[in-house]
Structure 1
Amino acid sequence: MKNLVLIINEKNSYGRHLGTTLLSILKNSKEKWNIFIIYENLSEETKVKLNTIVKSHSSNINYLEISKSDLDRFKVGKGTHLSSIVFARLFIPELLKSEEKAIYLDCDVIVLKPLESLYEMDLKDKSIGVILDGKKDQKSSLSRLNLSLDRTYFNAGVMIMDLKRLRENSKFLQTIDYCLNPDRELQLNEQDALNIIFENDYMINDIIWNYTHGNSEENSYTENEIGIIHFTGDVKPWDCRSYSPYKDLYWKYLNETPWKGFEEENKTLKNILKRELVKFKLKTRKIRYALKGKK
């Protein structure tokens, strides 16, 4: 079986979001998966629901607890919606000591194509396989980190890992040390550190496998072409304020899980009106760009 890893701290109802991601993976897979859930806290009730999803698709699920004390050592970037659980992905090579390869996914993604296609990516002797951020986001991150704009910057929410190589070169351990330096200011936490430590040691795959907001603004792939939709940013598809054109896909899969029946969070008339105004502005901006390109 192929190995899949996700991480979770079950605050803010992330159990059901993880379950939704898992269902989208398994429903669109051709093979069975060996799934590892690395967690800081996770209720028995949520485990039962996750087990139901996974076993109904004849896959395996394993739970690996990471200690709060390990995560509390890290400083979370200022002004982000993230928590220290994001650093748990840096422990994957050591936690999966008997495995040689794995794919890691954030649990705010929806998978639309068989994940095996991404898993089988040829890393060409690189340690990880990744997908780049949108060009605008790349430039912003490289500038913020005082890195050359000739470089590229990847999003760490989707990664194919050569675990054997990572244990041999200790680059995830180097990344941990880099993050723990009290003088570091890493707004995007371990993602910034990974981009620094792994310079020239990653293979790049097509953006359809990590279709973020930034990538969707700069490209126009259809839903049938996209492999993974990644709901980056602090307003997620389960929030009324989200204006993502793909948020209905989140609800489609959620309502096939044991968590079906939930409603949007922050649903007020004010938020609905603000959302529709933003959608209108984005739509008119795209039209202006299209007309400008025809001149």
Structure 2
Amino acid sequence: MTLRKVNVVIILLLAVAFLIIVQRNLLNLSDILHMENPVAGKSLPFESELSPDLGLESVRKGEEISVLITAVEERLGAVVAAMNSVYQNSKANVVFTIVTLNDTVEHLNVWLSKTQLNNIKYNIVIFKPELLSGKMSKDSPMLQDAQPLTFARFYLPVYLPKAEKAIYLDDDVIVQGNIQELYETNLKPGHAAAFSDDCDSASVKGIIRGAGNPNNYLGFLDFKKDAIKQLGMKANTCSFNPGVIIANLTEWRNQNITLQLEHWMELNSREDLYSKTLAESIITPPLLIVFYKRHSAIDPMWHVRHLGTTGAGKRYSPQFVKAAKLLHWNGHYKPWGRTSSFSNVWDKWFIADPVGKFNPVRKSPGDH
């Protein structure tokens, strides 16, 4: 074979080899182009670097859980601590609705946007005090302890017009469990709300204040009044605490619960229906009437309360407090104050005020 023919053969072989390599590369490219979602459910390395919060937020999917809480300026640190505890202890898709007054909005926005809570989902709604116009007696001695915002729980469908179910929380709570579990509390057919009953709960055992017993209806309502007598309620019926509410808002709307609550507020302003030795807030009596034997029960560990009363430190062991899903400092002694029990638990969830207005009061080394 001549040298010229050898060169032609070599060139042809090289050409064939080149074509084979090109074909294989094209086939690999075709496979990639036809592959569906090659990285479905995964974040590429550079995505995580550019968006450090992507991994955290990607798991907060599923049904939206509506949580309503009120925010008073002088207790704003409590609201932030409560929200932080809910957010950090759950991967649920929680959306907070914060009901407050105009003078608190700016401070609240700064606190949430300038701290580790800048990823939470929240809406701020302004409470209109005129909602209560004509529904409360102006000369009632109970009014001095009443904050208008505490009545926001009566208007849940107003503040959550699109929600079918919601959770209401007082600001002096810490949530240690997954809020999804509380949200999934089963409400019986026809029930618009679930509360924690008092009688069978270790939270209130043995607590008596004045002549009224906060374990039953007699501690909240004046059973000598005709309007109460006509209801046919038993005075020794177990009461409940409205600091935590799971509400079926569809039933709430259908049964006109808000209008019923307003009716009893207005009637009380004229006839003074509440007990003279009222155990706690003036929020509770209308709820007790409207939901008499028409509410479901919350797991007691999802509302361990009275941490704000005297003797709570002796009543609960640290192990019990640690096991509780939700802690409530209802009573006079708040966890941001000097004399509260288990304030160290609350401190874990408190986020310092970036503008320095709110500062928890703590005992100095010389205090006893």
What is the SS of the residue equivalent to 2:261? helix
Is 1:29 paired with 2:119? no
* Contact 1:37–1:62 (CA under 8 A) maintained in structure 2: yes
* Contact 2:195–2:295 (CA under 8 A) maintained in structure 1: yes
Is 1:119 paired with 2:119? no
TM-score normalized by the length of structure 2? 0.64
* Contact 2:67–2:96 (CA under 8 A) maintained in structure 1: yes
Which residue number corresponds to residue 193 of structure 1? 286
- Counterpart pick for 1:128 among 193, 196, 199: 193
Q: Distance in 1 between matches of 2:171 and 2:193?
A: 19
Give the letter aligned to residue 64 of structure 1: V
Decide whether aligned partners of structure 1 residues 262 and 70 sit closer, same or farther in structure 2, where only a CA change above 3 A counts: closer
Decide whether aligned partners of structure 1 residues 253 and 218 sit closer, same or farther in structure 2, where only a CA change above 3 A counts: closer
What is the SS of the residue equivalent to 1:37? strand
RMSD of equivalent CA atoms: 3.0
* Contact 2:175–2:326 (CA under 8 A) maintained in structure 1: yes
Decide whether aligned partners of structure 1 residues 60 and 52 sit closer, same or farther in structure 2, where only a CA change above 3 A counts: farther
What is the SS of the residue equivalent to 1:87? helix
* Contact 1:254–1:260 (CA under 8 A) maintained in structure 2: no
Moved more, 182-191 or 59-68: 182-191
Alignment of 1:152-167 (within 5 A): 152-167=238-253
Is 1:61 paired with 2:117? no
Alignment of 1:1-295 (within 5 A): 1-10=64-73, 13-41=74-102, 42-52=104-114, 56=118, 58-71=119-132, 73-75=134-136, 78=142, 81-125=145-189, 126-133=191-198, 134-135=204-205, 136=207, 138-139=214-215, 141-145=217-221, 146=223, 148-181=234-267, 182=269, 183-186=271-274, 187=278, 188-213=281-306, 222-242=320-340, 244=341, 246-255=342-351, 258=354, 263-265=359-361, 272-273=367-368
Q: Distance in 1 between matches of 2:184 and 2:315?
A: 27
Q: Percent same amino acid at aligned positions? A: 24
Q: Distance in 2 between matches of 1:141 and 1:269?
A: 43
Bigger radius of gyration: 2
Moved more, 60-69 or 181-190: 181-190
Q: Which runs of 5+ in 2 are unaligned?
A: 1-63, 199-203, 208-212, 224-232
* Contact 1:179–1:190 (CA under 8 A) maintained in structure 2: no
Decide whether aligned partners of structure 1 residues 21 and 258 sit closer, same or farther in structure 2, where only a CA change above 3 A counts: farther
Q: Distance in 1 between matches of 2:290 and 2:242?
A: 13
Which residue number corresponds to residue 278 of structure 1? none
Which residue number corresponds to residue 284 of structure 1? none
Decide whether aligned partners of structure 1 residues 64 and 263 sit closer, same or farther in structure 2, where only a CA change above 3 A counts: closer
Give the letter aligned to residue 175 of structure 1: L
TM-score normalized by the length of structure 1? 0.79
Moved more, 29-38 or 70-79: 70-79
